[in-house]
Amino acid sequence: MCRMTEPSTEKFYVVAAKSELEATGQLHVDLNGEQILLCRDGDEYHAIAYLCSHEDFALEGGTIHDGCITCPYHGAEFRLATGEVLAPPAYENIRTYSVRTDEDTISVGLVE
Ligand code: FES
């Protein structure tokens, strides 16, 4: 017998004002227990896992450049849009989340 599964739905939550990312370009967000790092790269906003996949230290404070973030601890590099690992010592990708923006706010999507 074939069972139909419900398609997963993504629900968006407003998590920050754009102005909160003006100073450092980064903001730690706890969204329903998900630890997320919001990042601004020019006019683009990304939501990535807060912790690095190397040794689970915070990516907050890492250098953002050319669509990537470099971990402040041992220098692993990840693509902000996809979480793809680009440089060791990390070898696992990090999670990313969907982002929507309007004129003033940033929303992050969670699969319900
Ligand atoms: S904790 Fe990020 S590179 Fe080691």
- Domain segments of the chain as ranges: 10-111
Neighbours of 6 (CB within 10 A): 6
Question: Residue 94 is encoded by which pair of tokens?
Answer: 């990090």
Q: Take residue 55 and report the two structure tokens written for it.
A: 């040794």
Q: Please tell me the distance between residue 68's alpha carbon and the centre of ligand 1 in angstroms.
A: 14
CATH code at 10-111: 2.102.10.10
| Per-residue model confidence as pLDDT tens digits over 35-69 | 999 999 998 999 999 999 999 999 999 999 999 99
DSSP string, 39-104: EEETTEEEEEESB-TTT--B-TTPEEETTEEE-TTT--EEETTT--EEETT--S---EE-EEE-SS
59: which 2 tokens?
């990516």
pLDDT at 2 over 60: no
Mean pLDDT across the chain = 93
Relative to the CA of 71, which ligand 1 atom is closest?
A: 2
Q: Ligand 1 in contact with 69 (CB < 6 A)? A: no
85 C-alpha to center of ligand 1: Å? 11
Three-state secondary structure call for residue 14: strand
Q: Is 85 in the pocket of ligand 1 (CB under 6 A)?
A: no
| 51 close to ligand 1 (CB < 6 Angstrom) | no
What is the reported pTM?
0.91
